[in-house]
Amino acid sequence: MTTHVIGDTAVLTGRSLRHITRSLDTIITTAITPVAIMLLFVFVFGGAIDTGSVPYVSYLLPGILLITVASGVAYTSARLFTDLQGGIFERFQSMPIARSSVLWSHVLTSVVANLTSVVVVIGVALLMGFRSGADVLEWLAVGGILVLFTLALTWLAVIAGLSAKTMDGAGAFAYPLIFLPFISSAFVPTESMPGPVRFFAEYQPVTSIVDAIRNLLAGQPVGGDIWIALAWCVGILVIAYFVAMLVYRRKFR
């Protein structure tokens, strides 16, 4: 049964990836907004923001990477909605394939597409002066956190794609996710924020994830931030997965 699921998922993922390679503008578009935000904050606002001895582009990059992922999962939701409206899901239901593989193919495609966009954004950051003190293990840890974060947001996108009534509704769920890093430690230290905003910024999930990635990229001790970041990512992932599968089963029972 496990081999059956893996094989079906691999075939359907290949189908989704072929769609991506035929429209590389999706990846380019996903990267454009984060890159534009990074250019704006570094070259326009960066001089007014005190991040100590840390270059602002290095301080900013972790939050930009999360915005990149949040922007990208909107396309996953839209692609899922398009398949639903096109009757692809009904066709798959009549075929001898594992039901969960249909969703997993979209999720794995999202991971590949979003990590490609992340690499593009990191490349631009290097051109802007970003330098990392991280070793190979710390880079792998950053990659692991980003994969978990992408999986968590993608399963949220699956819920939106399955539940939306319109294409605009399918993609609109990502707007709050894109906005969330702005109320965190991603752009400015939380100490500079007024009381209630600071409280929210310090205890929402993005801040711990940003702080963990920032310290890893700098080659600095991470402390408890990495465990809080992992707990948030895994927690959101598990809840979103089970809710998505519940919605899927109810829709095609």
Check pLDDT > 90 for residue 65.
Answer: yes
Cα dist. 240→77, 121, 230 in Å? 13, 27, 15
Task: Give me the residue label for tokens 């539940």.
Answer: 163
Both structure tokens of 196: 């209630």
| Distance from C-alpha of 40 to C-alpha of 221, rounded to nearest angstrom | 29
Task: Give me the residue label for tokens 């290949």.
Answer: 14
Tell me the pLDDT band of 1, cut-offs 50, 70 and 90: very low
Tell me the pLDDT band of 26, cut-offs 50, 70 and 90: low
Average pLDDT, the chain: 84
List, for residues 150-209, the tens digit of each pLDDT value: 999 999 998 888 887 887 777 787 888 889 999 999 998 888 889 899 999 999 999 999
| Distance from C-alpha of 42 to C-alpha of 27, rounded to nearest angstrom | 23
Tell me the pLDDT band of 51, cut-offs 50, 70 and 90: confident
| Distance from C-alpha of 21 to C-alpha of 189, rounded to nearest angstrom | 39
Question: Which whole number is the average pLDDT over 238-242?
Answer: 94
181 touches 210 (CB < 8 A): yes
Question: Which whole number is the average pLDDT over 11-17?
Answer: 63
Provide the pLDDT for residue 2. 45
